[in-house]
Structure 1
Amino acid sequence: MAEKKDGAALLTKKAKPRKSRDADCCSVNFLKCVLHIFNVVFLFAGIGVLAVGAWTVASRHRYVSLLPTPTYAAIAYLLILAGALGVPLAALGCCGLKTENRTSLLCYTYFLLISFILELGAGGLAYYYEVAVEPELRAELNNTFLGNYALDTTVTEAVDRMQAEFKCCGAVRPSDWRYSAWHEHDPRLLVPDSCCKTASSRCGVRDHPSNIHTHGCIRQFTNHIRDHLIILAAVGVGMSVIPIFGFLFSCVLYVKIKHVID
């Protein structure tokens, strides 16, 4: 009889007491309130990241065909994917908080981690590419101009748009056009019409400084891409901080729900 009492006492001693929902400063109710606020912040942050990614694709991708690697496009799509997770993830979080379902909270935690990785990856890649894009363009942009203009419709439209927008001519200098595949088809045209200060049909037969822009596009184009990459890097790295807080709070709540009583 004494042995049974000792065993029961030992089990009672080892068993962890279940706490009430408001037992301490980081109670279940407190964590649920914090995570509800976090969900609202995370939702709007996701919409912002999605908007930046979509803006990049919609208005800045007109020159992607001139870039030697798909890194710039990949950064934009990573941000779009990370931002698109905002709405379903916030809904999953609210559902898990309302029902206090630990499986939902676990899935919510994992997806917050994925969102963090996507945003940090996009920001880090943008930062890396911002440094690498200038030597890459110096090595390849002129070849793209001379080898693909008039042969590839997408490249042709991008080059014409660039020369008109940046008021430039050729990747390095206007005279480079004389060595292009495009020039061989019509040697009378010295530069594309988009090089002209006042664009008109076949205005490129004269390459005098009074008629055409005389500086190359590579410097302005490089600065244009680098400036936008800085924005993408700031958005990616900056927004990646937000999921960390949700991840930590949801982990704590996941553990605490198991040890509370109603």
Structure 2
Amino acid sequence: MAIGIIIFIIAFFGCCGAIKDNYCMLVTFSTLLILVFILQLAAGIAGYALRSQTVDFLSSELEQSMNHYNTSNGTQITKMWDTVQPEFKCCGVHNATDWVTELHTANDTVPVTCCSHIYGTIGMAECTSESENLFHTGCLDAFGDYVRSHALTIGGVGIGFAVVQLLGIVFACHLSRQFRMNYANM
């Protein structure tokens, strides 16, 4: 919500400045666009530089979230795990034994979403760490593989947004310069 409000304010300065031929508003708009661009660039660089700590942080958070699986206050966490595991064909953070350790269940039972639903298993009651159709890959590795396989697309989209922002900055600066020159000629 806060980001939406900030974007609205920045867009307001740009639109009003262009419509009213207001040099000050266009300079403010250009400055805010430059500031947003620098912040996004810094976030991208920091994200790349801290990627190893990000993996450790994500691993820790996922492990902690397992404590709240199938609890009364962990509804969203349960939905998250039950969506991620079949989607990425993974089980647990590192492997299925994470669930066995965390849930302390009899028969090494793991969430049913850790098993692929092959013919005849729709509606199966349980999945164990010994099931034939168990996903053996941990979700942290599966998600990492997904990001690595889509890194070029993610980078391309980021560069595309950066180019659009830079064009916006250049056009806003050019327009404000035109307004200033028109005021000087009056």
Q: Which category of TM-score, normalised to the shorter sequence, fits these structures? A: 0.7 to 0.9
Aligned to 1:187: 106
Asked whether the equivalents of residues 13 and 25 of structure 2 are also in contact (C-alpha less than 8 Å), the reply is no
Aligned to 1:136: 54
What is the 5 A alignment of 1:74-223? Answer: 78=3, 84=8, 88-97=12-21, 104-138=22-56, 139-151=59-71, 152-180=74-102, 183-184=103-104, 186-188=105-107, 190-198=109-117, 200-204=123-127, 206-208=128-130, 210-223=132-145
1:29-76: CA deviation from partner (whole Å, max 9, x where unpaired): xxxxxxxxxxxxxxxxxxxxxxxxxxxxxxxxxxxxxxxxxxxxx9xx
Asked whether the equivalents of residues 193 and 200 of structure 1 are also in contact (C-alpha less than 8 Å), the reply is no
1:191-241: CA deviation from partner (whole Å, max 9, x where unpaired): 10110111634321x322512111111122134456376356424433331
Structure 2 CA distance for aligned equivalents of residues 143 and 256 of structure 1: 61
Aligned to 1:40: none
Q: Secondary structure at the match of 2:136?
A: coil
Q: Secondary structure at the match of 1:168?
A: coil
**TM-score, length-scaled by structure 1:** 0.55
CA RMSD of aligned residues (A): 3.2
Structure 1 CA distance for aligned equivalents of residues 10 and 17 of structure 2: 10
In structure 2, what residue type is equivalent to 1:135? Q
In structure 1, what residue type is equivalent to 2:129? D
Percent sequence identity over aligned pairs: 14
Shift of 1:129: 1.7
Shift of 1:89: 4.6
Structure 2 CA distance for aligned equivalents of residues 154 and 232 of structure 1: 29
1:92-116: CA deviation from partner (whole Å, max 9, x where unpaired): 243223xxxxxx2211220222123
Aligned to 1:19: none
Q: Secondary structure at the match of 1:165?
A: helix
Q: Secondary structure at the match of 1:161?
A: helix
Structure 2 CA distance for aligned equivalents of residues 230 and 194 of structure 1: 31
The gaps in structure 1 that reach 5 residues or longer are 1-73, 98-103
Asked whether the equivalents of residues 146 and 179 of structure 1 are also in contact (C-alpha less than 8 Å), the reply is no
In structure 2, what residue type is equivalent to 1:109? V
Structure 1 CA distance for aligned equivalents of residues 100 and 32 of structure 2: 51
**TM-score, length-scaled by structure 2:** 0.73
Which of 1 and 2 has greater Rg? 1
Structure 1 CA distance for aligned equivalents of residues 132 and 35 of structure 2: 52
Structure 1 CA distance for aligned equivalents of residues 55 and 68 of structure 2: 15
Shift of 1:243: 3.0
After TM superposition, the structure 1 stretch with the greater mean CA deviation from structure 2, 85-94 or 238-247, is: 85-94
